[in-house]
């Protein structure tokens, strides 16, 4: 097939009618010579006020002889994005690989291993996605937190209760494999070509369940409510693990932990795994009317049925040396309670596939480095997070209500008394407060600067009635479990993997790291 780029259609043009004609015109061939075409990428160009355009990259099939002629004229063939499995190694694996964690990293590591007959065993401390959803909704409704199954722990990982955003900054052919497997699992086919693909939490729940069922159909096993409690090590090598359900033999152990597995990080540190501090970010969730964001981004075309809810992504570099940025922006979404430990308030954002809620929300974060921690202990970042989560819990009233403040009051350093035109979506409820009481002073000052700067880039960002809800502390893992060029830790046979181990930052990058670890295991070991 031939790859054509930068095919531009106005928002008013019918894609199915006009795109084939534009392809034929671009190639300078009769339309009847086009056997088929498929969209590889679709993006939006909203830079000009008078018109918004959709920009397409397409792959076009023509006859072999015509293709040869067009290539000689300078047209490019479609790159090969097919996934190639690694060659199977020579060392014999006596027991199936064991994977700790059923988030994106663990599921995709398990999927690849299962597709080549390695019969992986996945253990997950939380529940399957259906029971987990019931548990989470009960917490949001009644404030009854289950510390083993919540927004952070359970099938699908923390990303299950998010926007289901599938964007990534990494350039890796494995990304395509992840998207293709998600489509097989029930995700909409548009994620294969959308410039900013997302599935929404409602669809993502079905996708992760279907991937789990595929792993089992391939010979793997998935155990829920099963928590790693200890490592069995001899002569610097792993030979098994202890869980709350008993022992499991393992020559190969993949640690696909989430970024909130604090008690497990302590176990690993106690067993001698090399762990180091890592930078992360903390801040708040900011909520605007979605209509305000639509108008700022799409001007007179706001509300057009082909556009949907608008997004944004902003960054600011302060003279004080710190940076602030928006993260995990959820158009038409909700701010959710995401605590995993008693006595702490943690916020996150979530949206459904339709993105049809009244409010837009995004994390508004400031970078934190190990220099900000109180000690040099490898797990000091965890204590840093806990400190501010507990302050938020106390200021919120000790019942998992979240402290909140109007943007206008925040900028003037005034405690808010009530919300106004923007109704907070945090389900458990908010308590109006002054967020300087639940964040470090340098974070507060940097956020104030950033809000004013972002207002210049996105009109209305500093809207005085917009709501800030705190605190968001789980942007990424506060640690990194060190691994060598073979992806193993200093304890041989242990493969740190994904976001919790410090090697990913989102659904796609975590899944890709899981595939990468599976490939390394396959190339080293053979099973049965």
pLDDT tens, position by position, 206-262: 999 999 999 999 999 999 999 999 999 999 999 999 999 999 999 999 999 999 999
Residue 270 pLDDT grade (very low, low, confident, very high; cuts 50, 70, 90): very high
| SS3 (DSSP) at 480 | strand
**Per DSSP, what are the bridge partners of residue 234?**
237
Nearest-angstrom CA–CA distance, 22 and 65: 21
Write out pLDDT tens, residues 383-438: 999 999 999 999 999 999 999 999 999 999 999 999 999 999 998 899 999 999 99
Write out pLDDT tens, residues 326-343: 999 999 999 999 999 999
Domains of the chain: 2-77 (3.30.70.2700), 91-275+479-527 (3.50.50.60), 280-472 (no CATH)
Q: What is the mean pLDDT of residues 136-160?
A: 94
* Number of neighbours of residue 237 by Cβ within 10 angstroms: 13
Residue 509 in this model has a pLDDT that exceeds 80: yes
Write out pLDDT tens, residues 446-476: 999 999 999 999 999 999 999 999 999 999 9
> In Å, what is the CA distance from 57 to each residue of 9, 41, 167, 179, 195?
12, 5, 17, 17, 10
Q: What is the pLDDT of residue 39?
A: 92
Q: What is the pLDDT of residue 170?
A: 67
The distance in angstroms from the start CA to the end CA of the chain is: 40
| Average pLDDT value over all residues in the chain | 94
Nearest-angstrom CA–CA distance, 154 and 124: 6
Q: What is the mean pLDDT of residues 355-365?
A: 96
Write out pLDDT tens, residues 34-67: 999 999 999 999 888 889 999 999 999 998 888 8
Q: What is the mean pLDDT of residues 357-363?
A: 96
Write out pLDDT tens, residues 156-193: 998 888 877 787 766 788 999 999 999 999 999 999 88
Of residues 215, 213, 175, the one with CA closest to residue 83: 175
Main-chain phi, psi angles of 165, to 5 degrees:
-70, 135
Nearest-angstrom CA–CA distance, 145 and 480: 27
Cβ distance 524 to 89 under 8 Å? yes
The crossing angle, in degrees rounded to 10, of helices 174-184 and 507-524 is: 110
């Amino acid at each position: 097939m031939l790859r054509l780029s930068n095919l531009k259609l106005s928002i008013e043009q019918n894609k199915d009618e006009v795109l084939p004609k534009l392809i034929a015109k671009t190639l300078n061939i009769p339309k009847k010579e086009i056997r088929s075409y498929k969209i590889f990428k679709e993006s939006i160009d909203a830079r000009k006020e008078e018109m918004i355009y959709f920009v397409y990259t397409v792959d076009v099939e023509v006859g072999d002889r015509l293709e040869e002629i067009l290539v000689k004229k300078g047209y490019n063939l479609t790159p090969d994005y097919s996934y190639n499995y690694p060659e199977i190694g020579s060392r014999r694996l006596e027991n199936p690989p064991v994977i700790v964690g059923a988030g994106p990293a663990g599921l995709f590591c398990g999927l690849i291993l299962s597709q080549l007959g390695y019969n992986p065993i996945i253990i997950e401390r939380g529940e399957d996605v259906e029971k987990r959803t019931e548990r989470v909704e009960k917490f949001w409704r009644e404030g009854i937190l289950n510390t083993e199954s919540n927004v952070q722990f359970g099938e699908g990982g923390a990303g299950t209760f998010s926007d289901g955003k599938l964007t990534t900054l990494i350039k890796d052919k494995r990304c395509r494999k992840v998207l293709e497997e998600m489509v097989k699992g029930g995700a909409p086919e548009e994620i294969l070509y959308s410039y900013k693909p997302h599935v929404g939490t409602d669809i993502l729940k079905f996708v992760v369940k279907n991937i789990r069922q595929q792993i089992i159909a391939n010979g793997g096993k998935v155990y829920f409510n099963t928590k790693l409690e200890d490592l069995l090590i001899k002569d610097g090598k792993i030979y098994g693990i202890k869980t709350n359900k008993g022992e499991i033999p393992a020559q190969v152990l993949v640690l696909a932990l989430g970024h909130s597995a604090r008690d497990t990080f302590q176990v690993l540190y106690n067993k001698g795994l090399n762990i180091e501090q890592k930078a992360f970010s903390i801040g708040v969730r900011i909520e605007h009317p979605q209509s305000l964001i639509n108008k700022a981004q799409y001007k007179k075309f706001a509300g057009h049925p082909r556009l949907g809810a608008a997004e944004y992504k902003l960054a600011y570099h302060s003279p004080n040396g710190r940076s602030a940025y928006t993260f995990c922006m959820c158009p038409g979404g909700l701010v959710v309670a995401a605590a995993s430990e008693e006595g702490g308030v943690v916020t996150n954002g979530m949206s459904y596939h339709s993105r049809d809620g009244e409010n837009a929300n995004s994390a508004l974060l400031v970078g934190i480095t190990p220099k900000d921690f109180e000690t040099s202990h490898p797990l000091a970042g965890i204590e840093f997070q806990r400190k501010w989560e507990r302050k938020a819990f106390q200021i919120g009233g000790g019942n998992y209500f979240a402290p909140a403040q109007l943007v206008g009051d925040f900028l003037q350093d005034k405690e808010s008394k009530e919300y106004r035109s923007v109704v907070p979506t945090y389900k458990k409820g908010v308590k109006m407060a002054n967020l300087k009481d639940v964040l470090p002073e340098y974070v507060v000052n940097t956020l104030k600067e950033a809000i004013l700067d972002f207002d210049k880039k996105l009109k209305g960002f500093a809207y005085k009635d917009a709501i800030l809800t705190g605190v968001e502390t789980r942007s990424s893992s506060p640690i990194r479990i060190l691994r060598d060029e073979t992806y193993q830790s200093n304890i041989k046979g242990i493969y740190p993997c994904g976001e919790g181990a410090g090697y990913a930052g989102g659904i796609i990058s975590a899944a890709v790291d899981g595939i990468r670890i599976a490939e390394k295991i396959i190339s080293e070991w053979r099973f049965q």
